[in-house]
Structures are given as C-alpha cells and as structure tokens.
Amino acid sequence: MTLLSVANTSLQAVVIALFAWAGEVSWTIVWQFLLVGTGSSVAFALIIWRGWNLRARDPGLLLPQIAVSIVFQLAFLVLAPRLWLVFLVAVLVTYNFAMMSFSTRQFTFAWLFVGAATGLALFAGRGRFEHLGTSDVSIAILWLFFFFCIRQLTAIGMQFSSLRTQLSEKNRQLGASLERIQELACHDDLTGVLNRRSFMQLLADERSRAQRTSQPFGVALLDIDHFKTVNDRFGHLVGDAALKEFCAVAAAAVRTTDRLARFGGEEFILLLTPASGDDAALVATERVREAVATHDWECIAPGLALTVSAGVGTFRMDDTIEQLVDRADKALYAAKAGGRNRAVMGG
C-alpha cells in the first residue's frame, strides 16, 4: 500500500506538471508538490523497508500516511487554488485507503478530521478559486486525472477483493480444522469409532427420545475374548490392527442406524435403535458375534482368531443410563462365565 501511495503521488505530480505545461499553474507548484508529496511517500516506504515501523502500534502506519497525505493535499489546495478540484478529489481518493483497516471509531475520527480540514482549507482559499480552462488540452488533462483516480479506486477495490478472498480461505481452513477437532474429540484415536464420552451423550439423547416416543432401544457390551493373549502372543501392533479390524467387522454387521463405540481397552458398546423387544436386540448382537467368529483373522497374522462375548440390555422407561449399562454389563459377565463367544440377554 505504501508503494501504491508513492505511485499515486507520482502520477498526480505528472498531472500537475501537464497543467503547468498547459499554462494553468506555475512550474513552482509542480516542484513543490513533487518534493513534498513524493518525498513523504518515499520516507514512509523507507521506514517500512528498514523495519522501523515494527515498533509502532500500527505497523502499517496507515493513519499517519493518510493524515500526512490529506494535509499536504489541502495545503496545495490553498497554494494552487486554480487546481482546487484536483486536490479535493485526491483527498477523497486518499480517504478511501482508510477503508482498508480502520475501526468504527477510527472512521468516525477520520471523517471528522477530514471534514474539518477540508472546511478550513476551502475557507482559507475562498475568493481565489478559479475554474480550469476549457481548451482541448485542459479537458484532456482533466480526463487523464479522472482516469488515474479511477485506477486508484480500482486498486483499492482489488485490495478489498484480495482481503475477502484471503478471509474466505482462512474461514474455510478454520471450518475444516474445527471439524477435524470435533472428529478427534468424539472418536477413538485408534479405531475411529465413537469414544466413550460421545457415546454416553448419544445414549442420553436416545433415552430422552425413547421416553417421548415410547420406542425402546438396546445396548450391548462387547468384550473380545482373551485379548491379552493376542497382545502377548502376536504383539501390540497386531493387537491394534485386530481392534481396527474388529470395528470394521462389527460395523458391517449392524444396521446403519446402530452405533458402535469403544468403551475401554478391548471392550466395545453398541447402541441398537430402536429395538422392539429383547429378542430384536439379542438378534442384532448375535449377528455381530457370529460375524466376528467367522471372520478370517489370519489376514492380519497367521494363527490369529478372535471371538467376542456380549451382554445385552434393553431400555425400560424408568431406567437411568447407569442402570441400563449395568444390566448389559452383568449379562456380559454371564456370557463370559458361560464359556465366552456368546451373547446373553440381561434380566
């Protein structure tokens, strides 16, 4: 933006020089404007290039640059009243740079400052203002000045467009990051299924729904049989791969409305919705048990075989979440005590 300011001031100096060539103003005004205007812009560019601006509250030095530019434009409005319209329009274009980063409070301050400064300059130059000549050359130079102003406003618009594009991209990246964070917060790192915390929230929501609709649901606690032996015999890497594969097998054996979560270690829990009675929940759990028992586990490691024991509980309208899970947990212990690789309905 500072380099753009240097370019804009230089272009304005060219326009004033053309007016001097056309006899509208003296060449003294041209050299004075070039020295003060371009000199101040170059000074700001040098400050930023050397990094001295980094110590300031506003590293972009936007407010000082705009203030200096407006003050010297209005000073030349008084010194060269024949070109008052040129300098007044230049003030308006310069003020548009404020839209880049001003806060509401800064906008209000800048608006009052520019209003007071232009009023003072116009009052100081009253009685000396003249109209530019109407010759072909003067009209052509005036058009050139207008053409340059349009270019400046277009450049400001491009800056806004670039900022909007960057903001949209940052928002997209932020949205993706938030989705990823939510995904990590709700799912088990290893297996990718729901974790215990998110499942318990899901279970509470399902309980509320069941109490409103009187539609029962079931839960099944699943425990992989003798999983410690798998880790001891094949190693933890094979054990991790087996847990991931177990989740894939179990998820494929249930309906899309059922949800699987890791409850802890090699223990998993199923939400079966809705389950119209104990038999339906038990049948759904039995499908998972059978799918695990018949799966080819040797694709992970030769000699590997897994089975699962399950305890099933169905929701009763006066149940708490703890009571429901406890009933399924007791049924799981009964399944283990009965020889494992089986599903047992809780009483």
So which residues are the catalytic ones? Answer: 266
Chain mean position to CA 212: 37
Produce one character per residue of 325-344: b if its CB has 16 or more CB atoms within 10 Å, e if not: bebbbbbbebbbeeeebbbb
Burial of 229 (0-12, 13-18, 19+ CB in 10 A): exposed
The tokens for 47 are 């400050």
Could you give phi then psi for residue 302, rounded to 5 degrees?
-60, 135
Q: What is the DSSP letter of 187?
A: B
| Residue 313, strand partner residues | 219
Between helices 2-21 and 84-96, what is the axis angle to 10°?
170
Assess contact for 114 and 95: CB atoms under 8 A: yes
Of 89, 96, 83, 97, nearest in space to 44 by CA:
97
User: Would you state the structure tokens that stand for residue 205, as one six-digit string?
Assistant: 């929501």
- Tokens coding 28: 């003294």
Rounded to an integer, what distance in angstroms lies between the CA atom of residue 245 and that of residue 249?
6
Dihedrals phi, psi of 222, to nearest 5 degrees: -115, 130
Q: Which residue has the tokens 């000074």?
A: 43
Q: How many CB atoms lie within 10 A of CB 209?
A: 13
Q: Which alpha helices (H) appear in 22-103, and where do they start and end? A: 27-33, 39-50, 62-79, 84-96
For residue 227, give the 3-state DSSP assignment: helix
